[in-house]
Structure 1
Amino acid sequence: MTNCAEPVDPTSTHRDKVDFTGVQWKSVEWTNICLLYLRACESASPHSILGDEFAARDVARIDYDFDRIHRVVRPEVNKYMVALRSAQFDALATDYLDRHPDAVVLHLGCGLHSRAMRLARPGTPWFDVDLPDVIALRRRLYAETGTYRMIGSSVTEPEWIEDLPRGGPVLILAEGLLMYITPGEVTDLLHRLLDRFDTGELIADFLSPWGPRMSKVLTKGLIKWGTHDGSEINRWEPRLRLAGDSPIMAGYHQIQPAPQRLLYRTQFAIRPIRNYDRLFRYAF
């Protein structure tokens, strides 16, 4: 058995095992389990960057072949990439919520991420949105509350937005998502969301133009578009203005093991690798 899960607290109300064994190999749901596992592995480190204690507890509850996942995802290296990206999202989200305590939060493509449980403040309306099969898995781990909702829908479908409140500030989080839908679908999604709310921020990561080129060879074209500087978003939705950007590896100095830190430092020094996946923040 791998060592990326915490023992389940016997006093916890969420201690029952959850059966994910029916999830098919290399499906969208499988990918989300892999990301959950990587967050759990990194958060179990003595000097964790992300500090996602929910991830380790969730992995401990889930009945799945994590030994096989461990061999495939190589957490000793790849857990840091996942943690660095998520930690930047967390920091920017926390900053926005500190400044706008009355905001609505939309986590698009939420997967099995525990961000809602870790960052939401009392009374903050939080909507986690993902494909129906992914949300079905989430519902085995988490329960809705008066302020926390899960919506099972593709973000490209217009109907789910009718479940959201109108007006006020909104924080839109899209981690590892928008590059998988076409520019036209991104444009339509942004139009609908900005029509719904008065003000807010979009925090999203995008791949460089190498992303779709490599995807044609490696993943049958799953990556639909890439960007050099994030300016496409402003052209597709002029109400959004770029407020900042950063390579997702920018915090590599926080990695404690020296060999892995050296590897990430070396990658960061190579511009095409450093800029392959960047985080962008837009305001409106």
Structure 2
Amino acid sequence: MNEPAQQRVGGDSLTGVSETALLTLNGRAYQASRPDAIIDDPMAVRLVNSIDFDFAKFGRKGQEMALRSLAVDGCAVSYIRDHPQCTVVALAEGLQTSFWRLDHAIPDAQFRWLSVDLPPVIALRDELLPSSPRITNLAQSALDYSWMDRVDDAHGVFITAEGLLMYLQPHEAMDLIRQCAKRFPGAQMFFDLPPVMVKKFAPKGMRSSKRYRVPPMPFSLSLRELSDLVHTMPGVRAVHDIPMPRGRGTFFHTVFPAVWRFGPIKQYRGVYALLDFG
């Protein structure tokens, strides 16, 4: 007897910037499902298979999304090992599956998780992802700072803003960093930014395919501008330029990480930034 087909959940409730959650999920799941996978993320694969959506419209499924997740995972694991009972705050988390990757990577994990995103995204997470007593989902904007009152900061805080700040207006992005630094001394914050030239040369957003245009990215900072935050933004104690993880194939394993480290290029490339607050 054939088993009944699993009912799939529609993904069309995500629009605008929220729809990029499906874009990044698709890329990460594809890389995790390959025989030569660069990321261990079976939850992402199951998520894609559970969502009824035209993922093909996004076009290519390159390694970049998986590499970004590996970068933030490495920073988070390092912080959690030093602060085993900390709270991880995932701002605009989308359909990331970071909690389960980190839970798998850290034996006897005790860290707690606070996921903050808009109501349609949280509704999908509630419907499709497993629950845990260590996870709290908040259906609100990351710019509604009331989420800060829900953070247990007694044992340390690690904040991720993966794929968020570039879609904010400059004053919004800078104020979010400023408020996090003010509220959570001793915490760390990870975020990524595109090359500064993106907002100039693609003011309406970049096309990933003939059928999809990524939303505009009005905010970015060069590595030099980020480093200046130590002197210009109270509470920012240090800024770390996180290396590009190695991927698969000659370009992503060797060329791209080398270019990322090449001095003359640093002010023009994108950034994986880790900020220390204190």
Q: In the alignment, residue 88 of structure 2 is paired with which amino acid?
A: V
Q: Match for residue 40 of structure 1?
A: 29
1:245 and 2:241 matched = yes
2:8 alignment partner in structure 1? 18
**Cα drift, residue 158 of structure 1:** 2.1
Once residues 20 and 267 of structure 1 are traced to their aligned partners in structure 2, the CA distance between those partners, rounded to angstroms, is 40
Q: Is the 8 A contact 1:215 1:223 kept in 2?
A: no
Please give the residue correspondences for 1:250-261 in structure 2 after superposition, counting only pairs within 5 Å.
250-252=244-246, 254-256=247-249, 258=250
Identical positions, percent: 25
Aligned positions of 1:170-249 closer than 5 A: 170-218=157-205, 221-229=216-224, 230-235=226-231, 237-247=233-243
Map 1:95-244; keep pairs closer than 5 Å: 95-120=78-103, 122-218=109-205, 221-229=216-224, 230-235=226-231, 237-244=233-240
1:175-226 CA-partner distances (Å, limit 9, x unpaired): 1211222333234323433343341211111233213213315367432233
What secondary structure sits across from 1:113 in the alignment? coil
Larger RCO: Structure 1 or Structure 2 (Cα < 8 Å, ≥ 6 residues apart)?
2
Partner of 1:84 in structure 2? 67
Cα displacement string for residues 142-164 of structure 1 (whole angstroms, at most 9, x for unaligned residues): 24432101112111112222222
Give the 3-state SS of the residue equivalent to 2:88 in structure 1: strand
Counterpart amino acid of 2:145?
P
Going from structure 1 to structure 2, the CA distance change for 1:245 and 1:147 (only over 3 Å counts) comes to: same
Cα 1:16–1:148 change in 2 (3 A) is: farther
Does the CA contact (< 8 Å) of 2:76 and 2:158 recur in 1? Answer: yes
- Report the RMSD for the aligned CA atoms in angstroms: 3.0
Question: Alignment partner of 2:203: what SS?
Answer: helix
Taking the aligned partners of 1:122 and 1:262, their CA distance within structure 2 comes to 33
Quote the Cα distance in structure 1 between the aligned partners of 2:36 and 2:119.
Answer: 35
Query: Kindly tell me: are residues 236 and 134 of structure 1, through their superposed partners in 2, closer, same or farther at Cα, counting changes over 3 Å?
Result: farther
How many angstroms does 1:260 deviate by?
Answer: 6.6
Deviation at 1:47, TM superposition (A): 2.5
TM-score scaled by structure 1? 0.78
Shift of 1:261: 5.7
For the Cα contact (< 8 Å) 2:167–2:216, is it kept in 1?
no
Pair 1:194–1:144, CA change in 2 (3 A): farther
SS at match of 1:82: helix
> Shift in Å at residue 267 of structure 1?
6.6
- 1:278 maps onto 2:278 in alignment: no
SS of structure 2 residue aligned to 1:216: coil
- The range that moved more, 49-58 or 193-202, is 193-202
TM-score (norm 2): 0.80
Q: Which 4+ residue blocks in structure 1 deviate beyond 4 angstroms?
A: 258-275
Query: Given the alignment of the two structures, is residue 58 of structure 1 paired with residue 47 of structure 2, yes or no?
Result: yes
Q: Structure 2: which amino acid aligns with 1:278? A: V
Q: Which residue of 2 aligns with 1:74?
A: 60
SS in 1 for 2:219: coil
Structure 2 unpaired stretches of 5+: 207-214
The separation in 2 between residues aligned to 1:224 and 1:74, in whole angstroms, is 24
Deviations 1:10-29 (A, max 9, x none): 8xxxx9533225346x6333
